[in-house]
Structures are given as structure tokens and as C-alpha cells.
Structure 1
Amino acid sequence: MSARDQLLVVIDPVARRTDGESVRIAKDVLGAGAAVRICLPEGPEEFAKALVRRGARRPVVIGDDRALLRAVTVLHRERGLGSCAVSVVPVGTSHVLSRSLGVPSGAVAAARAVLEGVERRLDLLVDDSDGVVLGNLRIPPVTSPAAGGTAVDGRPWLRTCQSFVRTLARPARVASAPGPAPARLRVEADGVVVVDLDQPVEGVSVRPGADGLAEVEVRPTSVGAAAGPLRARGRTITVSGADFRYRADAVVGGPVRTRTWSVRTGAWGLTLPR
């Protein structure tokens, strides 16, 4: 029996809790077409150990986008992405990432793709803390410091009194929640500045392209006339400025003051339908 016909099926605990029926169907389809070893980890450590000790078996993850991202991260840090393709059967809370990568929806179709599909090599974004991005990286606007009941001069009772007096002094009206404040970030693509700190932005998005380059889109805050997005491409993307958070696929990172993402061409393989 070839290594392709031997599978290590790692079933994420979230998938088992949220949709046990789809998990059972996927197990049945996979078991009918290959020699299957089932692993039921209870947490991230057991999940990682199962993948590291997979031997010659092909890893198959039954789980949501977070489980797929976790599997690729483990294999990347163990330097195992070059020796195997990752397969996934989407079950759980979110499948946006897996669908965007071409994985079929539904337990039966996805399990059949694992058995009958082919490996496709994909680019990977790796940051300077060894985190990975498979699909989209987004830097949302920062939250306004005024939101959430900030104390005045360190005296919350004074803010309460001032608010009460203002309420008595003017007609009642519906209060609007303060929106997120624009971010001031410096974004560079291969050392070339796309936007600098003097231009507030509403958001930044980065994703791996199809030819070894990352695609960057910066949305400046409009002043007067609408400002169109700024676009660039590069192998290395650096973002710096005030503390910012970012969403890498399904995981939120930060806050950080600077972070660099580099493209690894064809760094990982995903099993997809022929």
C-alpha cells in the first residue's frame, strides 16, 4: 500500500462538538477508500503531536478554518510542509478560508477530493515571528480612545456628573456610538513606501498572489473627494506605526509596532479536486 493510501485523520474537537454527523460521514468515506488512522485530540498540544508523529501517512484535518491554519502552522514550524500535502474536510464554525482555496463544501465532496484529488502547491506568507497566512491578512482601523467610557482626568465620577448636566441642558437625542479612528501606518512593499504615517488609512489588506508576490491594498481615509485604494505588489511587506492588531486568516495577532511578512513561493501543498 502506497503512502498516498495511508491517512492520518485528525478530527478537531470543535468539529466533533458542532457537527458530529458530518464528522461521521467524512470518516466513513475516507475509511472506504484508504487505510485510515483516526486521532481525536482534545487540545492544541495533542493536535500538534499527532501531526508531528504522522510518519508516512498523509495528514487529513476534519475541522474548520482555524484547524486548517493550525495544521499548516505546525507543519511549517516542524519544517514538514515540503514533504506532504495537507488535506481538509471542512466541518465546524467557519469555512470561508477553505472555500476560497478551492476545497469543496460538504463532507462527502471534500472527503472524495482527499481520496481522488491532486496536490496543488500554494504560496505562503510568513511573518517575522514565524506566523503564517494562507489567505488574507487584514489590519482593521484602531478603536477610538474615547470609546468605552474613558475617565476624565482619572475621575470617573466627574465624567458622570458632566454627562448628567449636559443631558439636562439640551433636548434629548439618540446618541451615536463613536466609530473607529483611522490608523496611521507606514506600509512598504520591497522597501518602497506605499503609504506613510502622514496619511491616515481605513485599513490594509495583504494576500499571497499567484506568482510569488504578495498583493497589498491600502484604503486611505477620504478627505473631501473620495480617495481610491492604493495597490502594490512585493515579496516582502512591512507595516509599522502605532500599536496595531491584525487578522491573519481566522486568528487575531498583536498589538505590535512593526511586522514584516515575506512570501514563500509554493511553500505548502493542499489536496484539491482534479
Structure 2
Amino acid sequence: MATDDQLLVVIDPLARRTDGEAVRIVKDVLSAGAEHTKVCLPDGPEEFARALARRGSRRPVVVGDDRALLRAVAHLHRQRELAGCALSVVPVGAAQSLARSLGVPTGAVAAARAVLDGVERRLDLLVDDSDGVVLGALRIPAPPPPPTPPVGPGVPPHPPSWLRVCRESLVRTLSPRPARVRIAPPARLGPSRLRVEVDGVTLVDLDQPVEAVSIAPATDGTGGADVEIRPVSVGAEATPLRAVGHRVTVSGADFRYGADSMVSGPVRTRTWTVREGAWGLTLPG
């Protein structure tokens, strides 16, 4: 049965390059199931934002990976239009872990059907003191980045060994006084000294090194954030510290944090506040 919704389908350019066949299927399913469907093919983030800003009364549907979903939520939040907008997403691309964790079906057809037949669910949001948003869980320190994928079909991520050797030899030949470059060793994910405060109460201070800190919107309906701190263990494994609160502040030495497939920082202090039911996502009923 066709829905009387007017849909604005915004297809992220990376999705078109990554899986054009899935994008075609999504367009066919949505066009057949909705009375009015407008498809936008932005070439970059600015056109992506303009398409959302000009949506009118149409319900926006983002076709893309986790980064496209995060870009849409962040834009609507900055425009203070998030509360009145029911967002839909059809995951296309390699990064889909965030969408799956939020309950979005996997597969182009199932996700497109959920857009047409699903219901809006209000979800909590973490907003930091720089007006950034976090949809899922964040972790300190940030996890190591994933390996860089090949740049195109059939193209290896690195040149063959013989070609790399020839290039290096040519550079040494043409450079009479090659500059000496000191290469720093890769950063290790080791213990951090951080102060973690939840609703004004200090859970761990700078004198207690920690292995990791994780913060995520609570899923039990409490409307707060689940905080877990893993202290450095000496001998037996240390018991994690857990708390639930509405305002979490982390401070200390420069630290990076990973959230929603992105790495941010370094920062010396950051505060996240829970916004209850701040955004709506269409999910299977």
C-alpha cells in the first residue's frame, strides 16, 4: 500500500560510487511505495546540507553510510530543526555499524521498506560543549583507525615494491642534500590520567590511571547516559566503575575520543549532555 508521505531522498555521493546497484534498488522501492518522491543527488557536503534545508514538508530519507546519517543529524541539530523532523536512513556503504546498532534493518530492500512502513522512534542524543552530536557510543581513548581501503576497483592501496624502490632511488639521485626526517613511533593506546565527573560527582580523578572510558545514551528508558570507566588493573582485573547521569565531563591531558565512526580531538576537557528524545528515526514497527 502506498504511503501518503512526501519523501525527499538524499543520496550521498559516496553511496553512489560504492554500490550503485543498491542505490537503484532503493530508488525503485521508495518510488513505488510513496505517492510523491523527490530524489536529490548532491555532489558534496554543502549540497547535501542545502537539500535538507529545502526539504519543505517532505520527510527526509538519507541513503548512505553512518557518516551520511551523522552529517544529516548534525546539520538539523545546528539549524535547531531536529526536534520537528522524522529522519529515515537506508544504509549503503561499508560503514553501517551505527545504523545497525540503532535498529535500522540491513539490506537495501528491508531498509527501504522500513522507511515506508515503519514508525518514528524518539532517541536520545549526546551534545557536547562545542555543539557536536553523538548518536551512539563514544570511547576514550579513540580506537585505532580502520585500514585505508583501495582507491578504486582493481587498484592496490600501495604501489608494487619494485615501483616504490625505483621512486625512492630516483628521489635520492635528484636530491643533492636530502633532508633528514625523524619519524616518530606510532602512538600507543596506553593508560590515561583523566578526571571523569557525572552530574558534578567525580568518579575517577587524575591520580588513578584508566584504560578506557565509554559513554553512551542509556537504552533502558532512564533518559541518561551510561558511563563505564575501566581503571588500570594491578594483578587481578580491576572492577569497572559504572554510573548513569545527564551531564558527563572528562578532563585531563590532551585526549582523543572516537564516536560514530569518527575521531575527534585532541581536547583537554569536554562535556556531553544528554538530550532526551532529541531526534526521531523511522524504524520497523
Stretches of 4+ aligned residues off by more than 3 angstroms? none
Q: CA deviation at 1:7?
A: 0.6
* Aligned amino acid, residue 233 of structure 1: V
Asked whether the 8 Å contact 1:221–1:227 carries over to 2, the reply is yes
Q: CA deviation at 1:112?
A: 0.5
The answer as to 2:200 corresponding to 1:207 is no
Secondary structure of 2:80's match?
A: coil
Asked whether the 8 Å contact 2:30–2:112 carries over to 1, the reply is yes
* Aligned amino acid, residue 250 of structure 1: S
Asked whether the 8 Å contact 2:143–2:258 carries over to 1, the reply is no
Q: CA deviation at 1:179?
A: 4.3
Distance 1:205 1:188, change over 3 A: same
In structure 1, the partner of 2:284 is 273
Asked whether the 8 Å contact 1:139–1:244 carries over to 2, the reply is yes
The answer as to 2:229 corresponding to 1:218 is yes
The answer as to 2:27 corresponding to 1:27 is yes
Distance 1:140 1:186, change over 3 A: same
Distance 1:272 1:83, change over 3 A: same
* Aligned amino acid, residue 111 of structure 1: A
In structure 1, the partner of 2:98 is 97
Note the residue ranges of structure 2 that are not aligned, 5 or more in a row: 145-179
Q: What is the rounded CA distance, in whole Å, between the counterparts of 1:142 and 1:259 in structure 2?
A: 18
TM-score by length of 2: 0.82
Distance 1:134 1:271, change over 3 A: same
TM-score by length of 1: 0.85
In structure 1, the partner of 2:16 is 16
In structure 1, the partner of 2:165 is none
Q: Deviations over 1:156-207 (max 9, x none)?
A: x9x99xxxxxxxxxxxxxxxx9843211110010011111111111111000
* Aligned amino acid, residue 213 of structure 1: G
Asked whether the 8 Å contact 2:25–2:108 carries over to 1, the reply is yes
Asked whether the 8 Å contact 2:10–2:41 carries over to 1, the reply is yes
Distance 1:9 1:141, change over 3 A: closer
Asked whether the 8 Å contact 1:6–1:58 carries over to 2, the reply is yes
Q: What is the rounded CA distance, in whole Å, between the counterparts of 1:138 and 1:64 in structure 2?
A: 20
In structure 2, the partner of 1:139 is 140
Secondary structure of 2:100's match?
A: helix
* Aligned amino acid, residue 184 of structure 1: R
What's the % identity of the aligned pairs?
72
- Aligned pairs (5 A) from 1:207-246: 207-209=216-218, 210-246=221-257
Secondary structure of 2:268's match?
A: strand
The answer as to 2:120 corresponding to 1:119 is yes
Asked whether the 8 Å contact 2:87–2:281 carries over to 1, the reply is yes
Q: CA deviation at 1:133?
A: 0.7
In structure 1, the partner of 2:6 is 6
Q: CA deviation at 1:30?
A: 0.2
Number of aligned residue pairs: give it: 245
CA RMSD of the aligned region, Å?
2.3
In structure 1, the partner of 2:110 is 109
